[in-house]
Chains A and B, each alone.
Chain A
Amino acid sequence: MIALGKLHEFGHGVFGAFWPSVFIVVSTLIKIACIVAPLMLSVAYLTLLERKTIGGMQARLGPNRVGPFGLAQPLADGLKLLFKEIVIPSGADKAVFLAAPIFSIAPALAAWAVIPFDEGIVLADVNAALLYLMAVTSIGVYGVILAGWSSNSRYAFLGGMRSAAQLISYEIAMGLALIVVLMVSNSLSLGEIVKSQARGVFAQAGFSVFSWNWLSLFPVFVVYMVSIVAETNRAPFDMAEGESEIIGFHLEYSGLAFALFYMAEYASMILCATLAAILFLGGWLSPFSCFPNGFHWLFAKVFVILVFFFWIRATFPRYRYDQVMRLGWKVFIPVVLVWMAVVAAWMMSPLSVWK
Chain B
Amino acid sequence: MEFKAFVFYFLAVTLIYAAARVVTLRNPIHAALHLVLAFFGASGIWMLLGAEFPAIALVLIYVGSVMVLFLFVVMMLDIGADRWREEFRKNVPSVLCVASLMLIEMGCALWLSFSGNTEAALPPTGAGYSNVKMIGRLLFTQYAYPFELASVILLAGIVAAVALTLRSRRATKSADPSEQISVKASERIRLVGEIPEQRNENTAWKGN
User: Contact residues of A with B, CB < 8 Å?
Assistant: 20-21, 24-25, 93, 95-96, 126-128, 131-132, 134-136, 138-139, 141-142, 145-146, 149, 157, 161, 164, 168, 171, 188, 320, 322-323, 326, 330
Contacts and interface: CB of A to CB of B under 8 A. Distances in A.
Interface in B45-59: 52-53, 56-57, 59
Nearest to A171: B64
Given A145-B71, A149-B75, A128 B56 contact: yes
Contact of B29 (A96, A139, A168): A96
A131 B132 contact: yes
B63 interface: yes
Contacts of B68: 141-142, 145, 164, 168
Interface residues of B, number: 30
Given A25-B3, A132-B56, A322-B175, A127 B130 contact: yes
Given A135-B60, A161-B72, A128 B52 contact: yes
The interface residues of chain B, by DSSP majority, are classed as helix
A149 B52 CA distance: 33
A149 B70 CA distance: 13
Contacts of A135: 56-57, 59-60, 63-64
Contacts of B64: 134-135, 138-139, 141, 171
B177 A131 contact: no
The interface residues of chain A, by DSSP majority, are classed as helix
13 contacts: A96-B30, A127-B131, A128-B56, A131-B60, A132-B52, A134-B60, A134-B64, A138-B59, A145-B68, A145-B72, A149-B71, A149-B75, A326-B178
B34 to A, nearest CB: 12
A109 to B, nearest CB: 16
Interface string B9-31: 00000000000000000010110
B79 to A, nearest CB: 14
Nearest to B69: A168
Contact of A188 (B60, B132, B177): B132
